[in-house]
Structure 1
Amino acid sequence: MFIKILHTESSPGWGGQENRILNESIGLQKLGAKVYILCQPESKLAEKAKEAGIEVFTSPMRKSFDLKAIYNTARLINKLNIDVVNTHSGKDSYIGGFAGKLSKKTPLIVRTRHLALPITSTFSYKYLSDFVVTVSEYVRQYLIQKGIPEKKVFAVPTGIDLEKFNPGKVKGTLKKELGLNQDTPLIATVAVLRKKKGHHILIEAIPYVLKKFPEAVFVFVGEGPQRKNIEEKIKRHGLSKNVIMLGHREDIPQILSSIDLFVLPTLQEALGTSFIEAMAMGKPVIGSNIDGVREVIDNGLNGYLVPPEAPVVLAEKIIDLLSNRGKAKEFGVHGREKVENKYTIEKMCNGMLEVYLKHLKKL
């Protein structure tokens, strides 16, 4: 069945949410759908989607009840003869939802929930959406607890590109770039520099690790509002030689190929795509025993789950995997297997298409 899908996104930035929208759009077009994206002018998503060959429309979305944006979106839905409007953030979920209800076409309205943050209103989920997709079972259960009907909420986990994150094809060059010996333990964290990502917890754990592995090097990949605080904390702990801030990088597969261990003691996570990417590269992972992270990490099989805000325990698990290379390699093998079985772009896109078609038949 050929369908036309319009993804809407009011966030101008770039992160895991926007990356999923782009990957879904590319994947769904490969499956035969026609996909369009409506987003803010000058947004990163617009730029990357155009590069990927997705047809993009832009419109300012200043607030949730932006009448001009609602009118323009309704016109676009009619003009393109859209079957499915898939909204993603707060503003565009209201704009896209109202536009869909007011348009002549009256398409299926889908709301994707990407975050583990508490919701402030259930209106767009209950009344503007025909059904809701979540990126993990954890988020699905949270929405059901908030009163969204269970039959209306579906979990379709985020998937990644296994060719892009292919340990057999991607060569790691980070140790050479940093002037490190190949046997130097290298541990990475890839995440936006926000408080909830737990960089401060890892910094507290690092001195314990250095007592056992004084040559170990930790790299923080990403940018964000906590950069200055993190840099100051690194200096206060005397860790400037062992912790390197790499900033934003486009070569994440190459970085993950270079490391011995991936660690992210996050305090809030809908799923944890960065864990999935590291696992796809055959790396052992350590994360907090919270939220959607529990769905990704099988404790003692592909990585370790540690209590949140427990730097001593975190250090012990890092030391364990740096000390037991055979176990670390085994964890990496199991991690890659899990990603291949559950977290691919193909599985994500087939899941989305299945849910779309199931509900379109009911209209």
Structure 2
Amino acid sequence: MKNILIVTNNMMPNSGIGRYSLSIVEQLRNLNVNHTVLTERDKYSGGKDEKNLLHSKVSAFNLIKNSFLVRRELKRCDNIHALDCWPYGVYAYLAVLGTQKKLFINGVGTYSVPSGSLLKTFFMRKAYKRSEKIFCISNYTRDRILEHMPYVKAEIVSLGTTKLPEVSHKQQEEYRKKYNFASQYPILLTVGAIKERKGQFETVQALYKLKDKHPNALYLMVGSTSDKSYITQIEKYVKEHGLGNNIKILSDVYSDTELAYLYSLCHVFLLNSNNIGAHFEGFGLVLLEAGQLGKPVIGSKGCGIEDVIRNGYNGYLTEQRNPEDIYEKLMLMLGEQYEILAKNSREFSKKFTWEHTVSSYVKYY
């Protein structure tokens, strides 16, 4: 069996790229694929196959230094797989120069599209040209890459979804006391960093309209609050429109069990992401997590979310930055179609497994 070198940012389960990387590595282990994982120095997850060698700050000096570190590790491996193009695919490209070793790169989202400085774009193009295969997590990501490089070998390999933990009766009681949201309807939920690209503000604006029909509605935003200006914008709107009892920001949800409880509590899950320049939503894994618990979903058109929502089947797609459209889809969803959408959402999420995802990689290794 070949030995694969995986290059990524981190494998920490409380970060988006970490959760994604960890899921891939765990499935490689399940499939008995020999592997080593290179991650950044300040982001050690404790994985037994993990080596924290990479310098985290991207600079010309570190680009060279990290490439040599990757090349040194590659001597013990047969092929290399970078889980995003910038900067990890570039490190991998520089590491394989002058060798016959295969290079694979995942096309994920914003940092997979050749854009930005001339130097960055130059090296990303070189990396893609040298790669044996580019595994794109959505049609949208693939199309964005092909706009810049129509001749590269890009293939759609969707992400899987990890089964959420069961919430015990004791834990349910504990969370019920902590949150005390059960009497509110409908409960809307978004999971992800609270920032413009995730579109929580437009959902808050839609909630204001929804409140006329459902005065007891509640919108839960679970995620990082590091974007202070965006949080201030939301808080100002909430105060001006009397939504204080209808909005909760939760920045301290650290366990998957607690997250599973909040998924189970909500009636509708939303991810109304916005494209901002070169930044876009590559897939929308949290929509599938919500689907595991039978929650119908609402998300944006014009990004990777289109691969996760089959419009009118497991949820509805909305125009970006359009609170009116979000409101209309919420009203439609909360009507007599709700139970069918919820059932379909649960079934649809079952199609996305890490076993299928990683097996698609391994056949090319």
Structure 1-normalised TM-score? Answer: 0.85
1:1-363 map, 5 Å: 2-10=1-9, 15-43=15-43, 46-47=44-45, 50-51=46-47, 53-63=48-58, 65=60, 66-78=63-75, 80-102=76-98, 106-116=100-110, 118-120=113-115, 121=121, 122-150=124-152, 152-162=153-163, 164=164, 176-182=177-183, 184-223=185-224, 224-225=226-227, 226-249=230-253, 250=255, 251-267=258-274, 268-324=280-336, 327-341=337-351, 343-356=352-365
Once the two structures are superposed, residues 78-123 of structure 1 have per-residue CA deviations (whole angstroms, 9 ceiling, x without a partner) of: 1x23423324241222222101225x6x421111121156531242
CA drift at 1:3: 2.0
- Runs of 5+ consecutive residues of structure 1 not aligned to the other structure: 357-363
Once the two structures are superposed, residues 309-355 of structure 1 have per-residue CA deviations (whole angstroms, 9 ceiling, x without a partner) of: 2212211222333344xx222212111211212x1111111112123
CA drift at 1:270: 1.4
State how far apart, in whole Å, the 2-side matches of 1:211 and 1:6 are: 55
**Preserved CA contact (<8 Å) 1:110 1:132:** yes
- Matched residue count: 342
Secondary structure of the equivalent of 1:355? coil
CA drift at 1:10: 4.2
Structure 1 residues 165 and 140: alpha-carbon distance in aligned structure 2, compared to 1, 3 A threshold: farther
Return 284-293 or 110-119, whichever deviates more.
110-119
Secondary structure of the equivalent of 2:342? helix
State how far apart, in whole Å, the 2-side matches of 1:260 and 1:175 are: 16
State how far apart, in whole Å, the 2-side matches of 1:114 and 1:281 are: 25
Secondary structure of the equivalent of 1:133? strand
Structure 2-normalised TM-score? Answer: 0.85
State how far apart, in whole Å, the 2-side matches of 1:259 and 1:160 are: 19
CA RMSD of superposed structures (Å): 2.7
- Runs of 5+ consecutive residues of structure 2 not aligned to the other structure: 116-120, 275-279
Percent identical among aligned pairs is 21
State how far apart, in whole Å, the 2-side matches of 1:81 and 1:228 are: 49
Secondary structure of the equivalent of 2:364? helix
- The amino acid that maps onto 2:81 is V
